[in-house]
Amino acid sequence: MSFRVLSAQIMHESNSFSVRLTSLDRFADVILLHGDEALRALDGTNTEVAGFLDVARERSWELVHVISAHANPAGCVTEEAFEEIMKVVEEAARRERERLDGMLLAFHGAMVTTHSGDGEGEILERLRAIVGRNTPIAATLDLHANVTRRMCELADILVSYKTYPHIDMRVAGRHAGELLHRTMAGEIKPHTLFVRPPMLEDANGGRTDVGPLVAVMDRAREYESEPNVLAVSVNGAFPYADIDEIGPTITVTYNGDPEPHRLFAEEMAKAMWDMRHDLVNRFLSPEEAVASALAGDDRPVVIADYADNPGAGGYGDGTNLLRALIAADADACFCPIVDPETASQLQSRKPGETVSIRLGGKVNASFGGESLDLTGTLLSVSDGSYTCDGPMYEGVRMSFGPTAVIKVGRVQVVIVTEPHQCHDLQQFLAFDIDPRAKRIVGVKSMQHFRAAFEPIASRVLVCDSGALASPDLTKFTFHRVPRPMYPLDPNTPYNPEVFIRTRRSDMPIASENKV
């Protein structure tokens, strides 16, 4: 039997403390493609949509892909952008609803809009109002999802990545697709529950390469082999959002009796809570990190500017680490500094020229450092395009937008327009910089850089430059987050939230339901 499945990708990780709202053109800067054009662009890549395609081919589905809309992390998604994307998806759902057997959605799980703290929950609610209670919906989530009650109630299946750096997006897409197929075939009737400890995020931001969460993730994989367990997701959460439902969750999609799965989720949530003081990263100041890196290594020392990570909504124009590298006249390369104004100005200059620029610190200098007045040699200008070859996005073509590379002393700096975090060696190599030949490699990233850069590094150091993604969450003013909440309230008692999804027949659905 062939099933007809509607799929869509709508992804954003929203830092509500950022003043840079995410408009529709911000989606176009990463991916905003419709239908088969999106499938052609993503086929074979390490993405959820590629995983959807894998299952569709193997199971002979009719896959109707509506849209792939993915913007870089930044401030809240504007209502206009949200409505433009949803108009396309809702129209397709109405057009297809009488022929649909299921829906497959790729989410991040931490979308905040200017009118809603739960973007994914609103998407699901609107789609349920169109397709009704009986059309199964499966969704994939980033490991850093803030899972909400609406998400669990309105999606039958939730599957999150299990790795950070994220190298299993396609695997997650395949997993969700296979569960959807079994649901459409009548083999299973999935439901979802979660347990959330009272904390803003996992102590180590969801790291799965080292640290205490490794054991929790191993236990999750082991539990997935138990009878009636369909998916176990350990979500580390995204803490840079002032919303009502925030924090890490243990989420179980299951078949049958929820009780044993509730007990398992409560056990794992308590383990996550008990690990809240077991920190892996040692955060240095930029100056401390540079001084340590200069203390004699044969291979490059990588310094990660954790706090100015564009992949967590940081502005990417913080200068504190770059200032320390230049002051030390280090043999270094640095990527990126997000400064559209300077990148544009340099496009008209010729490589080899001496240029004087005012770099970075232009969005809000109190987050990550003030602008630097620099004189250096312009090495190159380009459109910023590169094709990833690392573990995360191998084969995916990306662009920094208009890009310039300058050399100040011995420090080579990649100045970009679009705020991508550094996660691939090609973000240097494509611009004629070989990070393997440098003593210090500076990257703006929290964790994703590790997949590509740890193999070339003698050591990795992590610094807190005081920018918008600082690991010190007490620096931020939260108004909507439930209190008490750790670490905002150090003496928070352990009182986890437990949510068990209601039966679909109990769910209030608007009048536009499919009958």
Identity of the amino acid at 50: A
pLDDT at 463 over 90: yes
CA distance 105 to 10: 8
Distance CA 191, CA 327 (A): 57
Q: Around 166, how many Cα atoms within 13 Å sit in the side-chain half-sphere?
A: 23
Residue 392, pLDDT score: 94
Instruction: Quote the pLDDT of residue 503.
Output: 53
The pLDDT score that the predictor gives to residue 296 is 72
The DSSP secondary structure of 19-52, one letter per residue, reads S--B-HHHHHTTEEEEHHHHHHHHTTSSSHHHHH
Mean pLDDT over 149-161 rounds to 97
Say what the pLDDT of residue 502 is: 67
Question: According to the model, what pLDDT value does residue 501 have?
Answer: 81
Residue 106: the pLDDT is 98
pLDDT for 121 beyond 60: yes
Q: Is residue 374 over pLDDT 90? A: yes
The answer on pLDDT for 509 being more than 50 is no
pLDDT at 277 over 60: yes
Q: What is the mean pLDDT of the chain?
A: 95
From residue 273, alpha-carbon distances to 171, 209, 311, 495 in Å are 28, 19, 25, 10
Whether 377 and 297 have beta carbons less than 8 Å apart is answered as no
Query: Any idea what the Cα angle at residue 221 is, between residues 261 and 304, rounded to 5°?
Result: 120
How buried is residue 88: exposed, middle or buried, by Cβ count under 10 Å (0-12/13-18/19+)? middle
C-beta of residue 247 within 8 angstroms of C-beta of residue 197: yes
CA 370-332-401 angle, 5° bins: 65
Cα→Cα distances 458→252, 370, 373, 435, 461, Å: 39, 30, 32, 12, 10
| pLDDT for residue 506 is more than 50 | no
Q: Could you report the per-residue pLDDT of 161-213, keeping only the tens digit for each?
A: 999 999 999 999 999 999 999 999 999 999 999 999 999 999 999 999 999 99
Partners of residue 65 on adjacent β-strands: 7
pLDDT at position 345 over 90: yes
% of the chain surpassing 90 pLDDT = 95
Per-residue pLDDT band for 450 (boundaries 50, 70, 90) equals: very high
Local structure of 67: helix, strand or coil = strand
Reduced to 3 states, what is the DSSP secondary structure of residue 214?
helix
Q: What is the torsional sign of CA 357, 359, 362, 366?
A: negative
Q: Is the peptide bond before 336 cis (omega within 30 degrees of 0)?
A: yes
Identify the weakest region by mean pLDDT among 69-83, 288-302, 371-385: 288-302
pLDDT at 512 (0 to 100): 38
Q: What pLDDT score was predicted for residue 291?
A: 97
Round to whole Å and give the CA distance between 338 and 356.
17
Q: Say how far apart CA 408 and CA 415 lie, in whole Å.
A: 12
Residue 1 confidence (pLDDT): 72
Per-residue pLDDT of 20-35, as tens digits, reads 999 999 999 889 999 9
Beta strands in 164-264 (DSSP E): 190-196, 229-235, 249-255
Give the helix/strand (H/E) hosting 347: none
Question: Which pair of structure tokens corresponds to residue 10?
Answer: 């709508």
Determine the longest span between alpha carbons in the chain, in angstroms.
Answer: 70
Token pair for residue 194? Answer: 């979660």
Can you tell me the mean pLDDT for 101-127? 98
> What's the pLDDT score for residue 297?
75
Q: What is the DSSP string of 352-377?
A: T-EEEEEES--S-TTTT---EEEEEE
